[in-house]
Amino acid sequence: EAQVTQNPRYLITVTGKKLTVTCSQNMNHEYMSWYRQDPGLGLRQIYYSMNVEVTDKGDVPEGYKVSRKEKRNFPLILESPSPNQTSLYFCASSFGTSGNYEQFFGPGTRLTVL
């Protein structure tokens, strides 16, 4: 089944404790992206990647890191999480090299930073 998977689905952590949210897609997509969703703000893009080893900042990259060492994986790293990073996070992928084409979204990761 073609899909985007994220882990973990739920995470409660404390300020300053490094964490990684994994994202994997099995559709051989070039483009992958991370978004955060907050009430009243919709989805805001954090980082995106057009191909292996190519990553770029989105709208709200501060406090986040990403890597794209393999085509299928695009982990989101929070080196020192803070409470304002409490949010619902979505990973997405697309067959093109931009978000212009249909993006397939993962099920989401709900992160709480205490």
Partner 1 sequence: GQQLNQSPQSMFIQEGEDVSMNCTSSSIFNTWLWYKQDPGEGPVLLIALYKAGELTSNGRLTAQFGITRKDSFLNISASIPSDVGIYFCAGQLGNNNDMRFGAGTRLTVKP
Which residue in the set 21, 58, 111, 113 belongs to the binding site for partner 1 (CB under 8 A)? 58
DSSP for 35-79, please give it: EEEETTTEEEEEEEEEETTEEEE-S--TT-EE--SSSSB--EEES
CA distance 62 to 58: 10
Query: Any contact of residue 69 with partner 1 (CB under 8 A)?
Result: no
- Burial (CB count within 10 angstroms: exposed 0-12, middle 13-18, buried 19+), residue 102: exposed
Query: By CB under 8 A, how many residues form the interface with partner 1?
Result: 28
Which residue in the set 42, 53, 62, 69 belongs to the binding site for partner 1 (CB under 8 A)? 42
Q: How far is the CB of 78 from partner 1 (least distance, A)?
A: 20
Binding mask 22-41 for partner 1 (x = CB under 8 A): -----------x-x----xx
Of 11-19, 54-62, 67-75, 77-85, which segment contacts partner 1 by CB under 8 A? 54-62
Closest CA to 83 of 19, 17, 9, 15: 15
Binding site for partner 1 (CB under 8 A): 4, 33, 35, 40-45, 48, 50, 56-59, 90, 92, 97-103, 105-108
